[in-house]
Structures are given as structure tokens and as C-alpha cells.
Amino acid sequence: MWNTLVSIFPYAIAYTIPMLMTSLGGLYSERSGVTNLGLEGLMLVGYFASAITIKMTEATLGINALPVGLLVGVAAGAIFSLLHAFASINLRADQVISGTAINMLAAALTVYLARTISGSGNVRIMMGIIRKNVPFLSKIPIIGPLFFSQSYWTTWVCLIIWALSWILLYKTSFGLRLRACGEHPSAVASAGINVHKMRYFGVTMSGALAGLGGSVILITYSGEFNGTVAGLGFLSIAALIFGQWKPLGILGATFFFGIATTIANVSQVIPSLQVIPPVFFKIFPYVATLLALVLFSKNSAAPKAIGEPF
């Protein structure tokens, strides 16, 4: 049992981090009052942009191509999300339809470009991040082997971003204003703050973080752009709801979902898990989210002005 745990934990963490970043992006956007169902598409844009960048620069930059690709992925996600921001903030469009359009556009456009550039729909990169044990910390009993062994450096960068976001959203006046835009935008406006600008910030952050999530998939466990993130963006939305739109909540939810997904993937090779069909682990996050929605339906933590144009 212990050995099983130690061997699947690094995978669970690797799976969690892209979801955590995307979910955090969703948190920025939805807290500022804009529903973002386009996270799946924004992830895909980051995934694609970083794959192309790394493929083109890895010969000259070597290992430095990875952080460059990461940054390009973040920028691409942020730029692509402006489409959603413009539609839902300036044009008061239906945010669900706009988000769906973003998903479809990203899915079609990235493969279109990938086919044009590389001939097939896939873009393979030569290098990835090498997993390393964190010095000293990986020697701690129990926690060391579970959390600090065989980890990617991006994991720590992402966790720092998560912590900084928490501080920004909950400990600064800027964060208070951003969250107020999602609860009561007219009150924020009457205090002399530009609601549109705050929402633009929220949506752009969601694009940047989802782009980061997509890039992290590429340079950690995937190594190849293959035209889909297989529903991870939607799983991130589920985690956002299951985590009740709170930073600590989404950390817990994404990790929970990450473990469930990992178990489903490996359950057929681990004898102690074979008794449970993998389908239960795969559908578990979605069923859990539906149940959470039902349980919290009386006092939902969802931002009150979510989806309403201002």
C-alpha cells in the first residue's frame, strides 16, 4: 500500500498542477463576475503555443527553450481570452455562448495551424523537464517521499503563483475590489472604481493561467501537442465549483480530482485497486461536483453577479 502510494503520488501531483492553475484562472474570472466556460479552449491555446515555440527554439536555446515556451503559452492564453473579455464585458454578450465559441475556435484553430506547420496535427518536442528530488525536504519521513520526490520545478512555480494569488485576492484592497465586482458591481462603480477594467483583469488572468496550465501539461507529462486536453479544462471548472470559489478549496478539489484520475489510470496494473472498475474513478469528480451543487444549493458560495453584464 505504502509503495503504491509513493509511486502514484508524483503522478497525481503532476496531474493536479495544470488543473490547479486553470481553476485558479477561473477563480479570477468568476470572482470578477464573468463566467468563463472557455477554460478548456484557453488551455489548448497555451498548450499549442508553447509546443510550437519550444519546437522552433529548442535547437538554439537548448533547455532554456522550456521557460520561453511557458511564457509564450501564458501570453497566448491571455491574448486569446481578450476575445471572451471583449464579447462579455463590452458587448454584453451571453457569456456561456461566448465561452463555448472560444472552446470550439481554440480546438479548430490550433489543429488547423498545427497541420499547416508540422504536416500532421501533432507537435512533438524533444525535451521535457527532468524530475528531481528537492534537496533536504525529500529526506523528511512520510512527507518527503510523497510530496518532495521526483517533482518538476514547474510544480513549485505554480504553487507560488497560487499562494501569491491568494494574498492578492484576499489580503489587498485590489483583491477586495475585484471580488466585489463579482458580487455587487454597481456598489464598486459607485465607489469610483472602473468595473470594466477590473473584469478585463479577471478574464485576462484566467486566460494567462489556463495558458500556463496547458503549457505545463506539455513540458511535464505529455511532451507532445495532440490537439486536445481531454476535458481537463472542464474538470477545472468542476474543481472551481467543488472548491466553492475559494483558493484553498480549489487546491483541495484539484488534488482530490488529480488523485482520482491517477488511480483510474493505474488501477488495472495495481492488484489492490483492481476490484473497483476504473470508470468509477473517472466519473467520480463529475458526480461529486453535482452532489456538491445540490448540497450547497441553499447557500451557494458562487459570486452573486456572475454572468451578468455590467
In the complex, which residues of this chain contact another protein (CB under 8 A)?
37, 83, 86-87, 91-94, 96-98, 100-105, 107-109, 111-112, 115-116, 231, 234-235, 237-238, 241, 277-279, 282-283, 286-287, 289-290, 293-294, 297
Q: How far is the CB of 224 from another protein (least distance, A)?
A: 16
Q: Which is nearer to another protein, 176 or 287 (CB)?
A: 287
The amino acid present at 76, given as its one-letter code, is A
Nearer to another protein among residue 18 and residue 145 (C-beta): 18
Cα–Cα dist 247/185, whole Å? 21
- Which CB sits closer to another protein, 109 or 168? 109
- Measured from the CB of residue 262, what is the shortest distance to another protein in angstroms? 15
Ramachandran assignment for 150, one of left (phi > 0), alpha (psi -120 to 50 degrees), beta (any other): left
Of 237, 248, 235, 246, the residue nearest 285 (C-alpha): 235
* Residue 177 CB, nearest approach to another protein (Å): 26
Gap between the Cα atoms of 45 and 227, Å rounded: 10
One-letter amino acid at 258 equals G
Q: Which of 210, 283, 288 is nearest to 49 (CA)?
A: 210
If DSSP codes are grouped into helix, strand and coil, which group holds residue 151?
A: strand
CB of 297 to another protein, least distance (A): 4
> Residues 200-212, buried b or exposed e (16+ Cβ, 10 A)?
bbbbbbbbbbbbb
List the grid coordinates of 159: 504553487
**In this complex, which beta carbon is closest to another protein, that of residue 93 or of residue 134?**
93
**Least distance between another protein and beta carbon 306 (Å):** 9
Q: Compute the least distance from the CB of residue 132 to another protein, in Å.
A: 33
* Closer residue to another protein (CB): 10 or 233: 233
Distance from C-alpha of 76 to C-alpha of 68, rounded to nearest angstrom? 12
End-to-end CA distance of the chain: 53
> Measured from the CB atom, is 98 or 154 closer to another protein?
98
Task: Please state, in angstroms and rounded to a whole number, the distance separating the CA atoms of residues 40 and 101.
Answer: 11
Those residues whose C-beta lies under 8 Å from the C-beta of residue 107, and which sit 6 or more positions away, are 41, 44, 227, 228
Which residue lies nearer to another protein by CB, 91 or 140?
A: 91
Q: Which is nearer to another protein, 188 or 264 (CB)?
A: 264
Q: Which helix (H) or strand (E) holds 224?
A: strand 224-225
Residues 6 or more apart whose CB falls under 8 angstroms from that of 296 comprise 244
Closest CB 82 distance from another protein, rounded Å? 12
